[in-house]
Amino acid sequence: MKLTALALSCSFCLTLAFPSPDPSNFAPADPTRFKICQEYNIPLNITAEITVPTAEYTPFQNNLDVAAWLFNLARRDSKTAFVPLAGSKNVTHSYNISGTICSPLTPTNNQTTIILATHGLGFDRRYWDIRKNPANYSFVDSAISSGYSVFFYDRLGTGKSTKVSGYDGAHANIQLAILKQLSILLREGKYTGSLGKPAKLAHLGHSFGSFLSNALISDSPELSDAALLTGLGYDMSGMAPSIEALALRIANRQSKFKALDNEYLGAIDSPAFAQFFLHAGYYDVALLNLAFQLAQPLAAVEYLTLATLQLSSPDFTGPVMVMDGENDFPLCGGNCVGTLGPAQTLYPNATDLQTVLHPNVGHGINYSLNATAAYNVLLDYLHKHGI
């Protein structure tokens, strides 16, 4: 099997993360940062119970329909005046999920712990492995530097994974069922490269990916040894204005998204994207431009079905860390101080529940200037608990 430098086209890759000639931008060279990565296309057969669209939620014909939908979501009485989903049904479908496993090239004590990372809305798996100035932005490289292995994947409907309808195909419960199956497979030692069966499996999420990881430890606590939930907050008062700020538009008007249906939506421009995900003065405009270039449309049904996920996790006894940016707009209205208290009721039996507000950061922690400081907190927490 041939080893090559990391590229999007390779399926089995050896990456050497060399430092930049500019020491102000990159960390010093570290042999533990050398990693070996393997990409997989994973076939899954998924059964899930999903809620059913009502007459109030019909497929979008144009952006005027999207504007009307956003109005209904944001109106003060939306909980009673707009009921887009009701009832339920079971569905079974087959999908292909594209994922990558990376582990240290040089054996480490922690490499048999796999961190299973699930990205949020607006991104694909590249959120975890930002290749522009990676020493300052790549979570994968930080984890490798700490000796851990990372499995990160494109959620259904994003990146290289199967494309489905954004109207009813990318339902949150289907995404949860996929995460559960991936967790089972990884625990069995499948799609783990040369690692075999992991000693521990920790779940890491961002935003929607954190809600999914939270729902996993609620539904199947035995599948996880620790939960790291980033971009997660509990004050939804900022959700309506933040979703309006994105000024969502039908994404398939862009040629790169022409395969998606009209229910996949993207931010109207990079300033709107920045307002939602970042905090003014604490991001590099070049990274904003990259994030907007790589951004993936969100499926309308993902947003609508977020509330169907069960978050209360009384049976989970492993370590839980909840981390949000201090200035997260959508999940705490731009000021998150004092908003993470509900975590105490959601994980009453967790070992060493920790809530962390990362300073001077918005919703998109990984694209912020002090991203690696957040990574260090997360990884040190795992190490503290022997994971």
Rg of the Cα atoms in the chain: 20
| pLDDT tens profile 329-380 | 999 999 999 999 999 999 999 999 999 999 999 999 999 999 999 999 999 9
Q: Which residues of 208-237 are buried (b: 16+ CB within 10 A; e: fewer)?
A: bbbbbbbbbbbbbbebbbbbbbbbbbbbee
| Distance (Å, whole) CA 25 – CA 23 | 5
**Residue 289 pLDDT greater than 50, yes or no:** yes
* Confidence band, pLDDT 50/70/90 cuts, at residue 234: confident
Q: What is the pTM for the complete model shown?
A: 0.91
Q: Which amino acid appears at position 202 of this protein? A: A
pLDDT at residue number 239: 86
| pLDDT tens profile 167-216 | 999 999 999 999 999 999 999 999 999 999 999 999 999 999 999 999 99
> 3-class DSSP state for residue 97?
strand
Q: What are the chain's domains?
A: 34-384 (3.40.50.1820)
C-alpha 14, offset from chain centre: 24
Q: Which residue has the higher pLDDT, 138 or 14?
A: 138
Q: In what order do the strands lie in the sheet with 249-250?
A: 249-250, 264-266, 298-299
Q: Write out the DSSP string of 243-264.
A: HHHTT-EEGGGSGGGTTS-TTE
pLDDT at residue number 184: 99
| pLDDT tens profile 69-103 | 999 999 999 989 999 999 999 999 999 999 999 99
Q: Which residues contact 327 (CB under 8 A, 6 or more apart)?
A: 279, 334, 335, 336, 360, 361, 362
Residue 251 phi/psi, 5-degree rounding, is: -80, -25
Number of helical H runs and strand E runs in the chain: 13, 12
- Structure letter (DSSP) for residue 4: B
- Give the residue-averaged pLDDT of 49-74: 96
Q: Are strands 12-15 and 85-104 parallel, antiparallel or unpaired?
A: unpaired
Q: Do the beta carbons of residue 51 and residue 88 sit within 8 Å?
A: yes
| Distance (Å, whole) CA 26 – CA 6 | 19
As to burial, measured by CB atoms within 10 angstroms (0-12 exposed, 13-18 middle, 19+ buried), residue 353 is middle
Q: Which amino acid appears at position 29 of this protein? A: A
